[in-house]
Structure 1
Amino acid sequence: MKTFHHIQSVREALKQARLEGKTVGFVPTMGNLHDAHIALVRQAQSLADVVIVSVFVNRLQFGLNEDWDKYPRTIEADSQKLAAVNCDFLFYPDEKEMYPNGMDAQTRVIVPSMADVLCGASRPGHFEGVTTVVSKLFNIVQPDIAVFGIKDYQQLAIIRRMVEDLCIPVDIVAGDIVREADGLAMSSRNSFITPQERPNANQLHRSLSWLREQILAGERNYPALETAAKARIKEAGFRPDYVSICNSKTLTPAASDDLNITLLGAMYTEGARLIDNLSLNLAGE
């Protein structure tokens, strides 16, 4: 595996791959890689000839009171994990390389219709930081396909909308959620869960699974279901951020006759904010 720190060098390497007729798959990450990230890499390998992974902890998507400073930086371990699965390229730039004119002067990319709801309501400016850095990475790498985990469902939907609106020639592929044995979705932030909380940290997944059961049984009072699911999270000792039943494409509140819906939720543990989702197709019920 070759590691690049500069935009020009990674562009030259990818240019050579394209001259050889190879397709390029891309997995953007913030590092601290775990099995779910590696699953995305393997998925990209199944779809493209050459795979590049980026590791960049993007300060632009962290709020003032969020955990940018303590976000785990594990580049040596990350490199070893990527090399072990025969990843071709690692792009590991520093902040000056990504934001040469400084973040305050950085041109921003905004998807206005989806960025201020759900996680965006709790993390103002977060998705503006995501879409800005992802658009920069797409311009640097110019991949044929890019793989994003579906655990960050809102992020996935926003990036798909950005690609559509800006006519970016990249195919966005969704990678399935990878879960621990008890259903907890794998996340870099799971390391912030205390040992005392961990046995019940799957409560968000359990609450969304309960919601799915109610909907499949025919219940369509979505606001009441959302309230009940949040109560379940509270009873387990955690603080719910939101539980929302949404149209899968637009992320607007689902109507009773919507056939493709996604159940999204976020909750706070003592040291972590966890997110999860489940999608349903009601056409065949």
Structure 2
Amino acid sequence: MILFKQVEPLQQALDKFRQEGRSIGFVPTMGALHQGHLSLLEAARKENETVICSIFVNPTQFNDPSDFEKYPITLEKDIELLIQSNTNLLFLPYVSEIYPNGTGNLPNYSIGFLETILEGKYRPGHFQGVCQVMHRLLEIVKADNLYMGQKDYQQCMVVKRLLELTRIPTRLHTCPTLRETDGLAMSSRNTRLLPAQRAQAVTISQVLKEICVTLQPGLTSLLLQAAEQKLEKAGFKVDYVALANADNLDLLDHWDGQQPVVALAAAYLDEVRLIDNMLIQSGK
């Protein structure tokens, strides 16, 4: 694996691979890698001759400065995992490489209602930061294929919109969420949970699974209220439990029994914010 910290030498290496006719698969991360990230790299490796991973904790997508400061950094372990997974290139940029003119006057992206609901509502400015860093990374790497995890469902929809806005020809692949044996969605933030909190955390996946199993055509409010109450009883401070159209993320207070649906939740255990979602197939 070759490690790059600057844009120009990375692009020279990528250009050489392109001249050789090698397709490029890209997995952007913020580090603290786990099996979920490795599954994205595996998907990229199956479909591309060259696989590049980036590790960059993007300051512009953290609306809470303390969350940015506490984001887990495990670089030595990350590099070891990337070598073991046969990743070809690692991009480990300085902030000045991603934002050469600073972070003060970055572009604003027209991503519509996606930044006003769910994660957008509770983390104002977050998705603008996601667009800012992803636009820059996509322009640098010029990948054929981009791999992201379904756990960040709304973020994947935002990046899909970004690709439409910028007309960057990279193809987005949204890969299934990987889970621990008890059902908890794998996340870098899980490393911040104390043992007792780790035992509590699985309640998020449990309530989402219950929604998937019990959802019937009609009003959804009572089902969502019950899920929220179960999370609160388990010690969570709930931001949201919601049902949305899986294709466009329109929030649903009524299900017709046919629409493809995604159940989503976000909640805090002390200072650690966890998110998860599960797809519910149409015609259930």
- 8 Å contact from structure 2 (residues 61, 126) kept in 1: yes
Alignment of structure 1 residues 84-233 onto 2, 5 Å: 84-215=84-215, 218-233=216-231
TM-superposed deviation, 1:219: 4.5
Which of 240, 243, 254 is residue 242 of structure 1 equivalent to? 240
User: What are the ranges of 5 or more consecutive residues in structure 1 without an aligned counterpart?
Assistant: none
Equivalent pair of 1:4/1:89 in contact (CA under 8 Å) = yes
- Counterpart of 2:248, as a letter, is T
Name the count of aligned residue pairs: 282
SS in 1 for 2:82: helix
Relative to the length of structure 1, the TM-score reads 0.95
* Counterparts of 1:227 and 1:65, CA distance in 2: 31
Structure with the higher fraction of residues in helix conformation: 2
Check whether the contact 2:72–2:191 (CA below 8 A) recurs between aligned residues: no
Determine the structure 2 residue equivalent to 1:61: 61
4+ aligned runs moved over 4 Å, structure 1 = none
Contact (CA 8 Å) 2:267, 2:273: kept in 1 or not?
A: yes
What does the per-residue CA deviation read over 1:44-68, in whole Å, with 9 as the maximum and x for residues that have no partner?
0011110000000000000134411
Q: State percent identity of aligned pairs.
A: 37
Please list every run of 5 or more consecutive structure 2 residues that lacks an aligned counterpart in the other structure.
Answer: none
CA–CA distance in structure 1, aligned partners of residues 41 and 109 of structure 2 = 26
Question: Where does residue 260 of structure 1 map in the other structure?
Answer: 260
Give the deviation of 1:109 after TM superposition. Answer: 3.1
Write out per-residue CA displacement over residues 193-240 of structure 1, whole angstroms, 9 at most, x where no aligned residue.
Answer: 12222212111110111111111xx24321221111101111112111
Q: TM-score, normalised by structure 2?
A: 0.96
Residue type of the partner of 1:9? P
User: Which one is further off, 193-202 or 35-44?
Assistant: 193-202
Secondary structure at 2:275 match in 1 = strand
For 1:226, give the aligned amino acid: L
C-alpha distance in 2 between matches for 1:256 and 1:158: 24
1:245 maps to a residue whose letter is: L
